[in-house]
Every structure is written in structure tokens, then in C-alpha cells.
Amino acid sequence: MRCLIFISVLLLVGVCQAVERDYQLKPQQVAEDTYVLIGHDEHFSFSNGGNIVNTGFIVTEAGVVVIDSGPSRLYGEQLKAAIARVTDKPVVKLFITHMHPDHFLGNQAFEDLPIGALKKTQGGIRLLGETFNDNLYRLVGSWMKGTRVVAPNLQVEPGLEEIGGHRLQLIALKGHTGADLVILDQTSGVLFAGDLVFYGRTPTTPHARLDEWQAALQQLQKLDFKVLVPGHGPPVTSEVAISQTSAYLNWLQTYLTEQAGSGAAMAELLQPEAPQHLRELAVFSEEYTRSLSHLYPALEAAALAEGKVEQQQ
């Protein structure tokens, strides 16, 4: 009897784990032939399995074009299954917008296909992919089971690419990382902005150059789009997400630069003086603290080199 009870418990645990490892991906149509799967406005955790990212796909006459593959092998596989619930057309190409792990660690599910990315994104994934993969294992556990790094196998160049009746404008920018691919479907008017744009969630800055990022946002504002899909947060039909991202980055750079010039120690800035509308962004406290650690040492060094600290002391 005890043996039967033990086996029953093991089976129940197995069933619960299987349920827990379902991302429950639900494509949302944002334009004709165009769908987005929206991630949680959270940090990586076991409860969300790393699903904090937006991915998307376009159903063309020639097959399906996917934008970003998600944070794990399991996500990539479930993304393919979600696509199959929408259309019986095969996936023909995958684009990776940049080198952060929540956007490319699902590549395994598509490794027999062309996987396009900018040259620096390819290099970044080859260099840091295993480190990213290991870090996500620590953060989300068994959701990452069987995940291995598959680097993009096709170098993307800026320009127009027509696939199955959809004219895709491939735009090479930088700022969030050293290479940020933006895709504007001129046929539908949908702009896949990647992590150059966050909406309702605090931007992340581990590889950011804020001046370049602001310049990229200015370029995005000039584009003729009908729907903007940010890397994180809900799609929008106006420039509001671009403006919100720019406002946060402007505040962050201004505040930290001023504090470095005044000689403030990093520990003094853990409770920042931020406008309420920015403090209300998802995961503000956590992401601000991360950005403080990423950005402040260089700003302190620059202030010292320019003599700003001595002048104000």
C-alpha cells in the first residue's frame, strides 16, 4: 500500500510539473496576417518560466516569418505549436532582433531554418550565449531543460526583403545593445521594434549606450507605422511607447549624471528621486537598481576626469 501511495505521489508531482511548464501562449492578432504573443511584465522567475518577452509572427503566402524565438527550447517548441493553431503554413524564416537571451534561446525549435540577425548580434550570441543560458537555468529552473544555444546562421543586412507578398524593411540600429534589428512590415504597417522600445515596463540596460538609444528612438519616430510592437509591453497604435521609453532614459541619464557630478556614492542613490509616472512602470525599483550598477561607475569616472566633483566640493 505504501508503495502504491508513493507511486501515486510521484505521478501527481509529474502531472503538476507538466502543467507548470506550459507557457499557455496565445497569439493575439494586431493586423492582417500578423500576430503577437505578449510576455509578462515581470522579472525572470520560475513562476513565469522566463516568458517576459514579446514574440511575433507574420503569415505570408510563402509561409510564416517569426520575430524572436523566446527564452527556452520549450518556449520555441510551444511557439511553433501556437503558430500551427493559427495556420497550416510552415515557418520559413526566423529573425532575431538582438542578443538578449529571452529573445533567442528558443532557436532550437527552428534550427533547420534560416535564422537571420545582424552581424554583431551573431557575434554576441556566440560569445555570451552559454553564459546567458546558464544564468537563465539559475533563474527559472526546469523550464530551461534541454535548452542549448543555437546562434543565428544568416547575417542580415539593412534593406527591403519581400516574403510571400509582405515587404519587410530591415533596419539596423543600436543603443539597447550594439546591434538592434527593427522590422517594419510595409504591407501591414506593423513595426517590430524589439527592445529599443518598452511600454509599461522599465527598460533594461545591461549592454546599453543611452545616447545611441535615444538616437535610435528618434529614427523610429520618423517611421510610418500603424501598430508598434515593443520588446516588452502591449502593442500600441501611436508613438506613446517610444516617448515613454525616451522619457525614462532621459531621466535616468540626467539623474545619474547630476549625482555623479555632485560626488554622490552609489549607495546613496538606491532610493532615487524619480517622477511618479516613471516609478509606476513595472519592475521600476529592480531595473533602476540594475541600471545604477551598470551605468554609474563610468559616470563617476567621467565626472572625476572632467574635474566636476572637485569643483562642487
Statement: the pTM of the whole predicted model exceeds 0.85: yes
Domains of the chain by start residue, with CATH:
22-239 (3.60.15.10)
73-128 pLDDT, tens digit each: 999 999 999 999 999 999 999 999 999 999 999 999 999 999 999 999 999 999 99
Bridge-partner residues for 282, per DSSP? 201
Residues with Cβ < 8 Å from 203, sequence gap 6 or more?
A: 176, 195, 245, 248, 249, 287
> Cβ-count burial of 289 within 10 angstroms (0-12 exposed, 13-18 middle, 19+ buried)?
middle
| Listed range (15-24, 196-205, 245-254) with the worst mean pLDDT | 15-24
116-172 pLDDT, tens digit each: 999 999 999 999 999 999 999 999 999 999 999 999 999 999 999 999 999 999 999
185-212 pLDDT, tens digit each: 999 999 999 999 999 999 999 999 999 9
Instruction: Tell me the three cell numbers of residue 138.
Output: 539559475
Residue 307 pLDDT grade (very low, low, confident, very high; cuts 50, 70, 90): confident
